[in-house]
Amino acid sequence: MLNRQKVEAYLEAFNLKDTKSKPPDCSCASSQYNYSPAGHIITGDLGIVTNEQLRELLAKGPKYRIPQPINWKKNFKLLMDAVEDYARKWIKREPDEPDLDTLSEWIKAIRSCIQRRIQKLRCNMSTRVSNPFKNPEVVDALSSLHDKYVVVPADKASNNIVFICKKHYLQCLTTELGIDKTTDLGLILTQKNLLEKPKMIWNMDESGKSFEHNPVKVVAEKGAKNVPGRISAISTHVTIVACVNAIGDKMSPLLVVKGKTERSIFGFNTQEAPSGTMWDYQESGWMDDRIGERWFKEIFLKQCGNDRPHILILDRHSLHESLALIQEGIKEDVVVLSLPPHTTHYLQPLDRTVFGPFSKQYDRACSEFLQQNILHKEDKWTFPTLFHTAWNSALTNENIKSGFRACGIYPFNPLANSRVCLPSK
């Protein structure tokens, strides 16, 4: 009876232009159930249901289920089959394995007990079940309700229901989800003519890695409760900055190590890092304004190509969107777009499909490296090699493109995360 999921499915497949030109019928203005603050019908009053039988059914609440007829013969057979199966298993446990006839009297007693219980239940329960949906008038009345309203359970009274004008419901969802392309991303992609230019759409983000990793494969005795794994005794932190575009290309990485001077980088075997890797240092090992501006000028602008414009999507982190970086972006015709807070796990391609596989590949590379020789260890000298292996394995063309697709950035699909943004069930 509740049709919200059907409306949501319709919302995912609908054409915005058709919906604007042919919106659902709405006669809320003249209705006694009009909720004035919204200007549309939002009510839990069952008087809005004209069919009496349907109204009585809805009054029972969304948790109500129409009783189904009971097949007593089928249920009796299922119970007796279970009893006989148990008897066979019981006999097999006996040392001399007697015949099933040994338990025949016990089986008869159980059969008699079940028959008496079923007979008692049949007398106490009504086996005649009336299905109201076999009445065409009830079906038509419910169909009429679904055409005009979205029927949902009330949030604070789960056994009550609310009728919401379908036109108003769709308008609210399209506004919240930005389906009309009035959101920053849809508007920018349209204005900059980038909807069909995936190589111009970029995503940049950072991730931290330590020399300590999660062991992937450990050989141990079966049933062991505590299985130790070999890891590094050094917990040095390195920040990894990646930038990818919707066509599946990646830029050279930036690695930020902890330190106060350039000498902090000297212990790393930088020659084994991916080609073009930029190294920098920071007192805490994280990004800051200086490093962000340097990355933008020395990596992004040099590797994004000569075509313009570009759009650079990043999270709303103060160190990612410094004033100097934004000004440089305006100068170079690069739109810097920051994502809303607490949404990057759904809206950022690198978080969706790249950094997860990268962490797994890094753990795998470290585990295999330590297993090769007992003298091997993870330190500054070996980290670039392990990072290089994980980088090439995880940042594949398909992983990158699937991230943009999952986030709805390219192909542009503002409904890609609609299930996340919709009201809770």
pLDDT of amino acid 20: 54
d(CA 11, CA 7): 6
The answer to whether the CB of 311 falls within 8 A of the CB of 194 is yes
Determine the Cα–Cα distance for residues 416 and 414; give it in Å rounded to an integer.
Answer: 6
Tokens of 56: 């009585």
Please choose, from the candidates 355, 356, 371, 366, the residue with its C-alpha nearest in 3D space to the C-alpha of residue 389: 366
Q: 326-351: buried (b, 16+ CB within 10 Å) or exposed (e) per residue? A: eebbeeeebbbbbbeeebbebbbbbb
- Cα-Cα-Cα-Cα dihedral of 65, 66, 67, 69, to 10°? -130
309 upstream amide cis, omega within 30 of 0: yes
Please work out, in degrees rounded to the nearest 5, the angle formed at the alpha carbon of residue 96 by the alpha carbons of 95 and 100: 110
Between CA 45 and CA 149 the distance in angstroms is: 13
- Look over the chain and give the mean of its residue pLDDT values, rounded to a whole number: 82
User: At 168, is the pLDDT very low, low, confident or very high (cuts 50, 70, 90)?
Assistant: confident
* Neighbour-count burial of 288, counting CB atoms closer than 10 A to its CB (0-12 exposed, 13-18 middle, 19+ buried): middle
At 423, is the pLDDT very low, low, confident or very high (cuts 50, 70, 90)? very low
Beta bridge partners of 164: 42, 150
Which pLDDT value is given to residue 200?
96
Q: Torsion over CA of 298, 405, 347 and 5, rounded to 10 degrees?
A: 170
How distant is the alpha carbon of residue 174 from its chain centre?
Answer: 20
For the ranges 7-21, 32-46, 211-225, 230-244, the maximum mean pLDDT occurs at: 32-46
In this structure, how many other beta carbons lie within 10 angstroms of the beta carbon of residue 309? 16
pLDDT, one tens digit per residue, over 121-145 is 888 776 566 788 888 998 999 988 8
| Bridge partners for 356 per DSSP | none
Q: What is the pLDDT of residue 401?
A: 96
Query: Are the C-beta atoms of residues 139 and 126 closer than 8 Å to each other?
Result: no
Q: Kindly state the percentage of the chain with pLDDT values over 90.
A: 36
Q: Listing from the earlier edge strand, what are the strands of the sheet with 334-338?
A: 278-282, 254-258, 237-245, 201-210, 310-314, 334-338
**pLDDT value for 350:** 94
Alpha carbons 234 and 420: distance in angstroms, whole number: 39
Whether residue 10 has pLDDT greater than 60: no
Range 384-402 burial, b when 16+ CB lie within 10 A, else e: bebbbbbbebbbeeebbbb
pTM strictly above 0.75: no
Q: What is the pLDDT of residue 63?
A: 78
Model confidence pLDDT, tens digit, residues 36-58: 888 899 888 899 999 998 888 88
- The whole-number pLDDT of residue 422 equals 47
Reported as half-sphere exposure (CB side, CA atoms, 13 A), residue 388 has a value of 16
